[in-house]
Amino acid sequence: MHNVTRPHHHGDAMTLIGLRCRNCGKRYPAEALSICEECFGPLEAEYDYEEIKERFSREAVQKRPPTLWRYRELLPVSSGSCIVDLHAGFTPLHRADNLAEELGIRELYIKNDSVNPTFSFKDRVVSVAVSKAIEFGFDTVGCASTGNLASSVAAHAAKARLKCYIFIPANLNLGKVVQTLAYSPRLVSVEGNYDDVNRLCTEIAGYYNWGFVNINLRPYYAEGSKTLGYEVAEQLGWEAPDRAVVPVASGSLLTKVYRGLKELETIGVIDEVSTRMTAAQSEGCSPVTTAFRTGSAIKPVKPKTIEKSLAIGNPADGSYALKVLRETDGSAGAASDEEIIEGIKLLARTEGIFTETAGGVVIGTLKKLVEEGEIDRDERVVAYITGNGLKTQDVLHSYLQEPPVIKADLEEFRKLIEQKKEVVVW
Amino acid sequence: MVTVRLATPLRKFSDGRPEITARGKTVREVLENIDREKPGFLEKVVENGEIKQFINIFHNNEDVRFKKGLDTEVEEDDVISILPAVSGG
């Protein structure tokens, strides 16, 4: 019976000190706050790293269950009994020799986060945010979402028996809407793009006392993404990669993956980090890549791309992502709609991993940056694949050829083969 | 009068109310008029004549950065929302 998943008791981790403004440095207690009262800057969780050093070791972590909560000292939930755990995290780090060979690089890994409980990396941030919502005593949670967050919040709210309001743009991928509806949240479809939905939710959060995971719980929520840094380091034998290619929407994931690696360095679990962070965006919405490449500040854009989950035209953490790219001597690229589709197919064809359009952005951008010589062929590269291909089948479908239809007859098949069509790629 | 919706950190200028009304022909004039009543308001929102980095101002639900910024014209019964920049979904 050792394979049965049963509730695991997570111990308490009193390592969170409070919140601190990333812009002006003002400190706040650990409450449901996300914005600095003085300068409107974003607040970030602050920890007692001396205390963490006492409790956290490679050996201790390796004995814990394979979920993101194995790094609980580095996460902002203090009470173990509040943790909502659908077994998110500790997803495979897949050595991608076929794709590496195709791209002409020596060592490539795919961090396959498409196999999380609701099939995207959002389960990491949501597991943390919903747990924190329970710790704060909220009975209702919600979010503004481009789809993946919607499913994840709805699933975690269902497990935790919380009321749940989800707001999505009206033009969202069908697969994401269907999946979200299955968990029975109160789903509201809003006319407009993600930036419109987000603006509405920010206003709603000011009127209702709900735990919006990516608004008033954002400092806690965002911390969940750090586990994508911890896991990759652990899975590489407690080493940071030379290069991490990360999809960029708000810019939070990229900054938090890097923060995760740096925290492991701070507590002495890994050696000095020299990872070059690399942003992947779609050409139809690339405010961070454009700013990085032109050496300017972020200018908001109106998204126009088949890639909807990364289509944030006004990225709130864009300036921080830009800072990390510059500090780490990283790079940034953008994939066109055609390159996104090719990226999805390339990953599926070479590695057997079916990703959504955001993953197509990552692979398309990686390919381009290798070809441009931006990524050295001898680097140890990790590409983050953050969502599952089943979520955006509607987009991919129109780019694929229909399979030939034959009668259930051997002669028919022989005729088809004699037409010398390739069997694998019709 | 123009309705101005305020983010939580700005409600100390409105005695805790989420909305106030003010006069003005542009977004800038509306903000300046609030500042006259509640000194200190403008400097929370505007720096060197520009909207601060972590603040978004919307006029009838449209980001004024895509319009004429602080010079965006406003009319009677319009709504201005001053919100923190948050995102990620």
Q: What is the pLDDT along chain A (426 residues), one digit of tens a residue?
A: 344 555 556 777 789 999 999 999 999 999 999 999 888 889 999 999 999 999 999 999 999 999 999 999 999 999 999 999 999 999 999 999 999 999 999 999 999 999 999 999 999 999 999 999 999 999 999 999 988 999 999 999 999 999 999 999 998 888 889 999 999 999 999 998 888 898 899 889 888 999 999 999 999 999 999 999 999 999 999 999 999 999 999 999 999 999 999 999 999 999 999 999 999 999 999 999 999 999 999 998 999 999 888 888 888 899 999 999 999 999 999 999 999 999 999 999 999 999 999 999 999 999 999 999 999 999 999 999 999 999 999 899 989 988 899 999 999 999 988 886 555 454
Q: Is the Cβ–Cβ distance between A241 and A380 less than 8 Å?
A: yes
Q: Which of B7, B9, B89 sits opposite A198 (nearest CB)?
A: B89
Taking CB atoms and an 8 Å cutoff, what residues of chain A touch B58? 199
| A407 min Cα distance to partner chain B (Å) | 46
What residue ranges in A84-154 does DSSP mark as E strands? 93-95, 107-112, 140-144
Taking CB atoms and an 8 Å cutoff, what residues of chain A touch B65? 300, 314
Q: Which of B83, B87, B88 sits opposite A203 (nearest CB)?
A: B83
Q: Flag whether B43 is in a domain.
A: yes
Q: Flag whether B42 is in a domain.
A: yes
Provide the sign of the torsion angle of the four alpha carbons A261, A266, A267, A269, taken in this order.
Answer: positive
Write down the H helix ranges in A76-226: 97-103, 122-136, 148-160, 174-182, 194-205, 218-221
Strand, helix or coil for residue B17? coil
Q: What gap in Å lies between CA A70 and CA A86, rounded to an integer? A: 13
Taking an 8 Å cut-off on Cβ atoms, the answer to whether A214 and B89 are in contact is yes
Spatial CA neighbour of A150 closest among A173, A168, A134, A131: A168
Taking an 8 Å cut-off on Cβ atoms, the answer to whether A39 and B81 are in contact is no
Matching residue, tokens 């794709």: A99
**Residues with Cβ within 8 Å of residue A171, at least 6 apart in sequence:** A193, A308
Q: What gap in Å lies between CA A171 and CA A313, rounded to an integer? A: 16
Taking CB atoms and an 8 Å cutoff, what residues of chain B touch A215? 86
Matching residue, tokens 């308001």: B41
Q: Flag whether B89 is in a domain.
A: no
The range of the structural domain enclosing residue B71 comes to: 2-84
Spatial CA neighbour of A151 closest among A181, A107, A115: A181
Q: What gap in Å lies between CA A206 and CA A90, rounded to an integer? A: 35
Matching residue, tokens 């109310």: B17
Q: What gap in Å lies between CA A9 and CA A81, rounded to an integer? A: 7
Taking an 8 Å cut-off on Cβ atoms, the answer to whether A316 and B89 are in contact is no
pLDDT in tens, A15-58: 999 999 999 999 999 999 999 988 888 999 999 999 999 999 99
| B21 min Cα distance to partner chain A (Å) | 17
Taking CB atoms and an 8 Å cutoff, what residues of chain B touch A169? none
What's the pLDDT at A325?
98
Strand, helix or coil for residue A220? helix
| Residue ranges per structural domain of chain A | 93-119+222-397
- Look at strands A211-212 and A140-144 and give their pairing: parallel
Q: What is the CATH number of the domain that holds B37?
A: 3.10.20.30
Q: Which of A124, A125, A149, A199 to mutate: most B Cβ within 10 Å?
A: A199
Interface of B with A in 6-35 (CB under 8 A): 7-9, 18
A5-22 b/e (C-beta count within 10 Å ≥ 16 → b): eeeeebeebebbbbbbbb
Taking an 8 Å cut-off on Cβ atoms, the answer to whether B18 and A316 are in contact is no
| A106 min Cα distance to partner chain B (Å) | 33
Q: How far apart are the first and last CA of chain A?
A: 45
| CA nearest to A200 within chain B | B61
Spatial CA neighbour of A360 closest among A393, A329, A328, A331: A393
Q: What gap in Å lies between CA A65 and CA A85, rounded to an integer? A: 11
Q: What gap in Å lies between CA A98 and CA A389, rounded to an integer? A: 19
Q: What gap in Å lies between CA A313 and CA A304, rounded to an integer? A: 9
Q: Which of B44, B61, B88 sits opposite A316 (nearest CB)?
A: B88
Q: Which of A39, A198, A214 sits opposite B54 (nearest CB)?
A: A39
Query: Is B53 in the A-facing interface, judged by CB distances under 8 Å?
Result: yes
Give A93-119+222-397's CATH code, choosing from 3.40.50.1100, 3.30.420.10, 3.40.50.300, 3.10.180.10: 3.40.50.1100
Strand, helix or coil for residue A79? coil
What's the pLDDT at B85?
81
Taking CB atoms and an 8 Å cutoff, what residues of chain B touch A203? 5, 81, 83
Q: Which of B18, B65, B89 sits opposite A145 (nearest CB)?
A: B89
Q: What is the DSSP letter of A91?
A: -
The alpha carbon of residue A325 and the mean position of all alpha carbons in its chain are separated, in whole angstroms, by 17
pLDDT at position B88 over 70: no
| CA nearest to B47 within chain A | A39
**The total number of structural domains that make up chain B:** 1
Q: Flag whether B49 is in a domain.
A: yes
Q: What gap in Å lies between CA A217 and CA A227, rounded to an integer? A: 18
